[in-house]
Amino acid sequence: MSMADVKEPGSDVIVEIENELDLALATMRHSAAHLMAEAVQELIPEVKFAIGPAIENGFYYDMDLPRPLSPDDLASIENLMARHRDADEPFVRTEVSKADALETFKNNPYKVEILKELPDDSTITTYQQGTFLDLCKGPHVASTGEIGAFKLLSVAGAYWRGDEKRPMLQRIYGTAWPSQAELDDYLARVEEAQRRDHRRLGRDLDLFSVNDEIGPGLILWHPRGAMIRYQIEQFEQKEQLERGYQIVYTPHIASEKIYQTSGHLETYRENMYSPMSIEDVDYYLKPMNCPAHIKIYQSHVHSYRDLPIRYAELGTVYRYERSGTLHGMLRVRGFTQDDAHIFCTEEQSTDEIAAVIDLATYMAKIFGYDFKAYLATRPDKWIGDEETWARAIEKLKVALEQKEVDYKIDEGGGAFYGPKIDIKWVDALGREWTGPTVQLDFNLPQRFDINYIGEDGEKHRAVMIHRTLLGSMERFVGGLVEHYAGAFPVWLAPTQIALIPITDDQVEYCQDVADQAKQLDLRVEIFDQKERMQAKIRDAQLMKIPYMLVVGKREVENDVVAVRLRSGEDLGAMPVADFLTMAQRIVASKGLELTVKEA
């Protein structure tokens, strides 16, 4: 039942303070937000400020302005900020009563709303630097001179309190670092991330689209994107079959009865879409695959000898996400999970968890990700008993240690119904993405009375493990686009080989080479448009096709192809059979290389 606890690149994460260094950096960045507010107020005195926290790598401030901000405004604001920083204005903290604060900020409805929510006897603090006074609990640096190098990045719309029924404010994003060198380094990383943005590459490489008439957050996979997904799914299904999983399929809708039993209608309803009525029974789009897998398990009585049972499904689920949070393929409303549920005995559960960790680390290796593991423990709200929780957490620990995986404890990060292991992929830019999850569940086995008959002939409660590896295919492939910067390894590349005839005289020869390639399951395209050879090579390179085979009169005469790589490397003339053998070996290796390194 693991949910998409997404913390992907592109989202605004309020920083988690883990140590002194984080705190110092966040304090400096939040102080930069005040410095920015001071500058905005100087430029546009009618401004009303809402909130301005430090976020990962920077800060923002939401504000109500009489006009939209332009890029020129950002430059003016930056200049004013620099002036106030150089003036080294002290941040002055003052304690005030709630009544006084309400009086001071009476012209700002946002601050008034925040104040009204505080208890009447609470101590409220304000901070002032220069002419700018803000309602804020701090902390701040001593004076503006302690704010390092900064840059304003963008302006976006943001609803007050993230609620689309409340006013739309303008949000200015900025970044701040202790030194200019760190700022420059960060900006270079941002530029690289933009170059890799899956929404941009998805369009340029013709991988996917989102269409207004179909609806936001619903992904249309174009043939090139679908080919990538198909290859991944084929590979994964084969791997799962080899590891003792059984593939199942379940429907996209299910009656309310099952979601009453599962508790989804009680605890998960806000993420589900409105029901449709069929013959007077309400049906829901499924938000999760678990209940259907349980019903398959329960279609027979199981003995301990049948266990473990592992059901895997590429299950498409639908979950409500606010339109403001949708983001390309990373945050969507319908997606396909590589979901699996393992039913086993308590004694088997450690080995089952270890086997999932093994498969997860194998996936990381195949796709070239580093990874970090987190063990998420009991949250404040939980079910079951202390002893069961302690035993379950111990099992997850033992499994991680068995597989020699380093992990951190995510204190209280588990679900109310059980602890879990979360693995984050670390991509080529060092960013963390939601990856595999292994979750123990004390809730559904009880709600559905999931049993097996033990050696003693008695009924025993089965252990249920929820597990995804790649997570959602949408998010995973979107992440891969950025990880590879669109240059997919040969086994995944939608087109692996571009055949480029120099003149029409070589088209027939190219067709013959293409037929040979297809016989070997290689994906090939002939570039026979009426264009100059250089233009065709450029087109193939833009599509990031791994191999470009240029064929002129000489190549036909010698039965060879001139091989160029998308990296720009020129391998020269190769006999057709040699090239195809090499390409086949590269595909089989699933490696990132384009040529075979001779041992």
Q: Which of 29, 420, 431, 467 is catalytic?
A: 420
With respect to Zn ion, which residue has the nearer C-beta, 1 or 469? Answer: 1
Q: Which of 41, 337, 439, 496 is catalytic?
A: 337
Selection from 587, 4, 2 nearest residue 330 by Cα = 4
Selection from 264, 252, 503, 467 nearest residue 363 by Cα = 467
With respect to Zn ion, which residue has the nearer C-beta, 290 or 522? Answer: 290
DSSP state of 323: G
Residue 335's φ and ψ, nearest 5 degrees, are -155, 160
With respect to Zn ion, which residue has the nearer C-beta, 127 or 476? Answer: 127
- 466 annotated active-site: yes
With respect to Zn ion, which residue has the nearer C-beta, 417 or 452? Answer: 417
| Bond prior to 308 in cis (omega within 30° of 0) | yes
CB of 558 to Zn ion, least distance (A): 58
CB of 93 to Zn ion, least distance (A): 10
With respect to Zn ion, which residue has the nearer C-beta, 84 or 536? Answer: 84
With respect to Zn ion, which residue has the nearer C-beta, 444 or 540? Answer: 444
- What is the C-alpha separation between 126 and 91, in angstroms, rounded? 10
With respect to Zn ion, which residue has the nearer C-beta, 285 or 290? Answer: 290
Q: Which of 395, 466, 467, 483 is catalytic?
A: 466
DSSP state of 14: B
- Cβ neighbours for 149, distance < 8 A, ≥ 6 positions apart: 176, 177, 178, 179, 180, 182, 183
With respect to Zn ion, which residue has the nearer C-beta, 225 or 471? Answer: 471
Question: Residue 14 burial (CB < 10 Å; 0-12/13-18/19+)?
Answer: exposed
- Cβ neighbours for 343, distance < 8 A, ≥ 6 positions apart: 297, 302, 307, 308, 309, 310, 450, 452, 462, 463, 464
**253 and 285 Cβ atoms separated by less than 8 Å:** yes
- 567-to-99, 244, 501 alpha-carbon distances in Å: 67, 40, 20
- What is the C-alpha separation between 263 and 269, in angstroms, rounded? 9
Q: Which of 293, 319, 424, 536 is catalytic?
A: 319
Q: 3-class SS at 272?
A: coil
CB of 363 to Zn ion, least distance (A): 18
CB of 517 to Zn ion, least distance (A): 41
Question: Residue 388 burial (CB < 10 Å; 0-12/13-18/19+)?
Answer: middle
- 339 annotated active-site: yes
CB of 394 to Zn ion, least distance (A): 22
With respect to Zn ion, which residue has the nearer C-beta, 229 or 466? Answer: 466
Q: 3-class SS at 503?
A: coil
- 590 annotated active-site: no
Q: Which of 290, 439, 510, 564 is catalytic?
A: 290
By the criterion CB under 5 A, which residues form the site for Zn ion? Answer: 1, 136, 290, 466
- 319 annotated active-site: yes
Q: Which of 48, 341, 378, 536 is catalytic?
A: 341
CB of 353 to Zn ion, least distance (A): 15
Residue 515's φ and ψ, nearest 5 degrees, are -60, -40
CB of 91 to Zn ion, least distance (A): 8
CA triplet 491, 495, 500: central angle to 5 degrees?
A: 130
Helix axes 20-43, 71-86, angle to 10 degrees: 110
- What is the C-alpha separation between 269 and 421, in angstroms, rounded? 25
Q: Which of 339, 422, 427, 441 is catalytic?
A: 339
Beta-bridged to residue 500, according to DSSP, are 550
CB of 134 to Zn ion, least distance (A): 6
CB of 181 to Zn ion, least distance (A): 27
Give the side-chain half-sphere CA count within 13 A for 238.
6
- 467 annotated active-site: no
Helices (H) and strands (E) in the chain — how many of each? 18, 28
- What is the C-alpha separation between 464 and 380, in angstroms, rounded? 22
Active-site positions read: 290, 319, 337, 339, 341, 420, 466
